[in-house]
Amino acid sequence: MRTLLCLVALGGVARAESLWEADLRAGYGVAMSGTQGTMSARPSPLTLEATGAIAVNEEPAVSGYAGALVETLDRSGVGTVFGARLIEGPLRLAGGGTWIFAPYTLWGATASAGTCWRVARGAQLCTDAQLTAYFAGTDLVKGHAVTQAQLVIGVAIDAP
């Protein structure tokens, strides 16, 4: 009986990682590009993302994600994002790719680090610092890349 009571008590403390997660995120920051030895910086587009993630490993907590991306404000674009996410304690690390396909094309790599706070059952508020490097596409000057550094805030809906 004591063993059962201990398991019930510990079960309320331990939290299983989510099997799936849906994120809505908004990011804004600075975009940097270089031409012939000079670096220029300007505000990045406002980036909106809607993604879904599915757990692929329990320990450490790793999930694969994919979803839609929209750029707005000073430019408009629609694309997709995909990658893997590692959650270790309060730290959330992600890396993957992005492809903007309309009305121009851009291919890039993205990496982020951040944390989430549980605000309700099944809902978290998340913040991330994100870097995206676009290295190919019709919207780039040949031989040049554009790097965006953004602060991203979002809401994650999950279920164990």
Tell me the CATH number at 60.
Answer: 2.40.160.20
| Range in 33-37, 89-93, 99-103, 131-135 with the lowest mean pLDDT | 33-37
| Residue 13 reports pLDDT greater than 80 | no
Pairing of strands 38-43, 46-57: unpaired
Residue 7 within a domain: no
Cα separation, 73 vs 85, in Å, equals: 28
Q: Considering the domain boundaries, does residue 98 fall inside one?
A: yes
Residue 3 lies in a domain: no
Task: Give how many domains the chain has, as a whole number.
Answer: 1
Specify the length of the chain in residues. Answer: 160
Could you tell me if residue 104 is inside a domain? yes
Contact predicate 115/93, CB 8 Å: no
The range of the structural domain enclosing residue 27 comes to 17-159
Q: Rounded to whole angstroms, how far apart are CA atoms 123 and 155?
A: 7
Q: Average of pLDDT values for 112-123?
A: 95
Q: Evaluate whether residue 60 is within a structural domain.
A: yes
Per-residue confidence (pLDDT) for residue 17, from 0 to 100: 61
Query: Is 39 a domain residue?
Result: yes
Stated pTM of the model: 0.84
- Contact of 28 with 47, CB cutoff 8 Å: yes
The answer to whether residue 136 sits within a structural domain is yes
Is 132 a domain residue? Answer: yes
Confidence of residue 6 (pLDDT cuts 50, 70, 90): very low
